Structure 1
Amino acid sequence: MNAQSSTVGTRILVIDDEPQIRRFMRASLTAEGYIYLEAATAEQGIKQITSQNPHLVILDLGLPDADGYEVMQKLREWSQVPVLVLTARDDELQKVKLLEGGANDYLTKPFGIRELMARIHVLLRDLSDQQQPSAETQFHFGELLIDREQHKVFLQNEVINLSRKEYALLDFLASHPQKLVTQQQLLEKIWGHTHHEDTHYLRIFVSQIRKKLKDDPAHPQYIETEPGVGYRFIAQKS
């Protein structure tokens, strides 16, 4: 199977007012086999979404006719199309606001082609997974095995003793590999809505999991921290 076989027919809409960004996106996305769509304003972008039904939207926040965040919120009222936000600000509070407002992920300018393609791949894979629910009972990540039927975790064939909360947290992250999961999403999933601000729970439990998996936070193999925002499970399935 060639590299473009899974991208044929996949429509990606880029909403950005900077011509050089659009040229870069056009060259990069068409080279990968994607169908490239573009808009320079929020108004044009909304029209493209309704008429072209893209599989993914790449949205710049700094649009000339509307705030990108407001565009995303309005879009979420009637569409669940994955949205990758482009932002010029490396600001933790803004990132949290974006993700809580409906963005699926974000990229801070400037960014490289490899990072862009990695984020696109993850978002499109998640879309495919939602359309075809996974029936996997085991996750293999090199020397790490998560047995979802027995609710057990093995590292180098040795059982790792995790509490129920630790297991639930690891399983949820591992079931969304390479995807940024926010602190609020994890807290609500594992502890419920009443604990959505108790981020110290996460720090403690993630630290405990890392110790048991011998995962150095400075050079993680499994769980990567996005400071102030959330976590990514970065190991590759094997």
Structure 2
Amino acid sequence: MSAGTEQGVVEAVQFDLKRMHETWMEFIYPRQRSAEGTVLGKWEPDGGASLVFYRAWSTLGTPIVALIYPFVLFGYFVRFQTRRLNTTAVSIGFAGVVGLFVVLWGALALLAKFQFSGAFDAGGVTAIAAASVVGILSAALSFGAWRLGGRVTTVLFAYPFAMTAIFLPPVVAGLYSEAVGSVILSGSDSLQDWLLANGPAAIDDVKTYLIRNFDLEGFSYVLMWFGISVPLGWLLGLVVTLADFVRPTPE
């Protein structure tokens, strides 16, 4: 990496951190964010107790900004990828997006029925076909929610539907095929163990309830991945929103 590029990265990080800290200050005080170049300038108290509290609030914001900034960086990455996908979606339109998922998950259902029917348990082909239909509908709903516009609609619906369209059919295929399941479902078991140890499910009462009432087998895998895909979609939407707030880009 050249020195010029390194300097540019450092300056970009400094800009982001400064803007985030100014936003933190603006929760309480006026004229903080991007106010230095304005006529009035950045507001600061004259002195006394108000100045002490101002500086204390500023100091408190420093570690909070440092903790949030990795999510902003992740949001930049997700935003870059989603906008590439958005460009593709715009170019092929609604029919193209739905057609792409029809080909993708329709091929999975056809392979299950005609090519590998012997490798699937009873009812597997029907379940995979149903999951493929749900995946295709989820892709259509995701595109529709995105085209409606609005940050809330996109975060609440477009991202979760997109995650469901991607995750659901292969997980259902894994339920009825030992070969597919050995990859997808064994990974689900490992993920379940990690979530029980480190995620929200690590809370004793929640963990005890889940262990007593749910066994990770059969349809529980579908529920687990549906329970992951929706919050994951919300998380991706929120980090992109955070990235847009810190460093807006032209649509």
Fold-level match, TM-score > 0.5?
A: no
The structure carrying a bigger helix percent of its residues is 2
The structure carrying a bigger strand percent of its residues is 1
More contact order relative to length (CA 8 Å, sep ≥ 6): 2
The alignment's TM-score, normalised by the length of structure 2, stands at 0.29
The alignment's TM-score, normalised by the length of structure 1, stands at 0.30
